[in-house]
Amino acid sequence: MAGEESVELKFRLYDGTDIGPNKYSPATTIGSLKEIILTRWPQDKDNAPRSINDIKLINAGKILENNKTLAESRVPVGELPGGIITMHVVVRPPAFDRNNEKPRADFQKNRCSCSIL
């Protein structure tokens, strides 16, 4: 892997702090990047993700898929020579049980709580 082929990325967390920057191969999968984020997650943050499924990576307004590589995700390799690409990290908050305020294991993603009068 030559130096000019690598992609320099940093990951911006919800509070504006960053993980990185580090260089990655264009063949690196988004799932692998999420695993790296999990291992490097700051210990002082309250809402740490538990798995890569709790993390969404966003680049240029596009949510990136776990099984795609950086090259397949159309990360602008080479458009900014020597530049660092910032990806935004979104963490899905845990679902809480209203009765005892514990995270629920049976959380359903698409629940509606509307009332029609």
Q: Kindly report, residue by residue over 8-45, the tens digit of the pLDDT.
A: 899 999 888 999 899 999 899 999 999 999 999 988 88
Q: Closest Cα partner for 6 from 30, 22, 29, 20?
A: 22
Domain covering 3-91 in this structure, CATH number? 3.10.20.90
Q: Are strands 55-59 and 85-91 parallel, antiparallel or unpaired?
A: antiparallel
What span, in angstroms and rounded, lies between the C-alpha atoms of 11 and 22?
Answer: 10
What span, in angstroms and rounded, lies between the C-alpha atoms of 106 and 2?
Answer: 47
pLDDT of residue 3: 46
Q: Is residue 40 within 8 Å of 74, Cβ to Cβ?
A: no
pLDDT of residue 43: 86
Q: Is 102 helix (H, G, I), strand (E, B) or coil?
A: coil
What distances in angstroms separate CA 88 from CA 56, 75, 76, 104, one per listed residue? 8, 13, 15, 26
Q: What is the pTM of this model?
A: 0.70
At 102, is the pLDDT very low, low, confident or very high (cuts 50, 70, 90)?
A: low
Domain ranges of the chain: 3-91
Q: Which residue has the higher pLDDT, 39 or 100?
A: 39
Across the chain, mean pLDDT equals: 78
Taking residues 90-94, report their average pLDDT. 80
